[in-house]
C-alpha cells in the first residue's frame, strides 16, 4: 500500500551541528505538512508545502518539496537544545498518511 | 482560545472494561480525527468525521467506535478494552480535509492491563 517513510529514525547531534530529515512517499502527494512533537507533548504544525520544488524557511529551519512531489526534507541549521523532539511529515493525496518520524537529540 | 481539548489525560483500564475519550474544539472546524501513537509506528488514524453527524473509518478502526453529535465534539469509545489498545490517543481537528494543517489536543495516555 501507499507509504510515507522517514529517514533517519533517530539522530543525535552536538549542539551547533546541522540536522536533516528526509520524507519519501511511494505516491505523488498533493501537499505535505511537517510537525514537531516535543517529548511528552503533542504534534504541532510547522509548515505546509504545496508546489513542486517549493522551498520555505522559518528562521533556522528550511523545508523543501521535491520536484516530483514524492519527497521532502527538513533541514535545521546550527541546532539548539530547543530543537529536541520528533519531526513528522504528513503526506496528503486521496488520504493523509504520517511518516514514522525522526527523533532528534541535541547534546549540549 | 483553548483549541482542541481532550479528557482525560491519563487512564488505566482492565481488560474488558469500557470507556469514552472526549474531544472538544472551539475553532469551528468541520473535520475531526482520532489518532493513536505507538513507539516506532507514528500516528495512525482510527476514525474521522467530515462534519456533524458523520463518521468514517480510518486505518485502524477495529475495537473503537466514534460519534459526532455536535460539531465541536468528537467522542472515541472502547467497548471492551484490550491490552493491544494501550497507546497514546490524540484528537485533532482541521478547517479542510486533506489540504489543511491538523490541530492536535494534548493527548490521552491509556494503559490496559
d(CA B73, CA A42): 19
User: B15 to chain A, minimum CA–CA distance in Å?
Assistant: 25
Q: What is the pLDDT of residue A58?
A: 97
CB pairs under 8 A between A and B: 42
Q: B-contacting residues of A 33-72, CB under 8 Å?
A: 33, 35, 41-45, 48
- For residue B20, the tally of other CB atoms under 10 A from its CB is 14
CB contact under 8 A, A88 and B42: yes
Q: What is the pLDDT of residue A107?
A: 96
Nearest to A57 by CA among A36, A73, A81: A73
Q: What is the DSSP letter of A63?
A: E
pLDDT category of residue B1 using cuts at 50, 70 and 90: low
Please name the residue that has the C-alpha cell 514514522. Answer: A100
Q: What is the pLDDT of residue B106?
A: 97
Rounded to an integer, the average pLDDT of B13-40 is 96
Are the beta carbons of B74 and B56 closer than 8 angstroms? no
pLDDT category of residue B30 using cuts at 50, 70 and 90: very high
Are the beta carbons of A80 and A101 closer than 8 angstroms? no
- Nine cell digits for residue B111: 494503559
A5 touches chain B (CB under 8 A): no
Nearest to A87 by CA among A31, A44, A56: A44
Q: What is the share, in percent, of chain B residues with pLDDT greater than 90?
A: 91
Q: What is the pLDDT of residue A75?
A: 98
d(CA A13, CA A11): 6
Are the beta carbons of B25 and B3 closer than 8 angstroms? yes
Minimal Cβ distance to B41: which of A30, A35, A100: A100
Is omega for the bond preceding B8 within 30 degrees of 0, making it cis? yes
Q: In this predicted model, what pLDDT tens digit does every residue of A23-72 receive, in sequence order?
A: 999 999 999 999 999 999 999 999 999 999 999 999 999 999 999 999 99
d(CA A24, CA A48): 15
CB contact under 8 A, B107 and A42: yes
User: B82 to chain A, minimum CA–CA distance in Å?
Assistant: 23
CB contact under 8 A, B42 and A96: no
Q: In this predicted model, what pLDDT tens digit does every residue of A65-107 receive, in sequence order?
A: 999 999 999 999 999 999 999 999 999 888 889 999 999 999 9
CB contact under 8 A, B102 and A98: no
Residue B35: list chain A partners with CB under 8 A.
98
Q: What is the pLDDT of residue A93?
A: 85
Res B21 pLDDT > 90: yes
d(CA B79, CA B74): 16
- Nine cell digits for residue B14: 482492565
Task: Give me the sheet containing A19-25, strands edge to edge.
Answer: A4-7, A19-25, A71-76, A61-65, A55-58
Res B90 pLDDT > 70: yes
Amino acid at each position: 500500500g501507499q507509504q510515507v517513510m522517514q529517514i533517519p529514525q533517530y539522530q543525535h547531534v552536538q549542539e551547533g551541528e546541522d540536522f536533516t530529515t528526509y520524507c519519501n512517499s511511494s505516491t505523488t502527494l498533493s501537499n505535505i505538512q511537517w510537525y514537531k512533537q516535543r517529548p511528552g507533548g503533542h504534534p504541532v504544525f510547522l509548515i505546509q508545502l504545496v508546489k513542486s520544488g517549493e522551498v520555505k524557511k522559518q528562521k533556522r529551519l528550511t523545508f523543501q518539496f521535491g520536484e516530483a512531489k514524492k519527497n521532502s526534507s527538513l533541514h535545521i541549521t546550527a541546532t539548539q537544545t530547543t530543537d529536541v523532539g520528533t519531526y513528522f511529515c504528513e503526506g496528503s493525496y486521496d488520504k493523509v498518511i504520517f511518516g514514522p518520524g525522526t527523533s532528534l537529540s541535541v547534546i549540549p | 482560545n483553548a483549541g482542541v481539548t481532550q479528557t482525560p489525560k491519563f487512564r488505566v483500564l482492565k481488560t474488558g472494561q469500557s470507556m469514552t475519550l472526549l474531544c472538544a474544539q472551539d475553532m469551528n472546524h468541520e473535520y475531526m480525527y482520532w489518532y493513536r501513537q505507538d513507539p516506532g509506528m507514528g500516528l495512525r488514524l482510527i476514525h474521522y468525521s467530515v462534519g456533524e453527524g458523520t463518521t468514517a473509518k480510518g486505518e485502524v478502526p477495529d475495537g473503537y467506535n466514534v460519534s459526532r453529535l455536535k460539531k465541536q465534539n468528537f467522542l472515541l469509545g472502547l467497548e471492551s478494552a484490550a491490552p493491544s489498545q494501550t497507546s497514546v490517543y490524540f484528537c485533532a481537528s482541521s478547517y479542510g480535509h486533506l489540504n489543511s494543517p491538523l490541530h492536535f489536543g494534548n493527548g490521552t495516555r491509556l494503559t490496559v492491563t
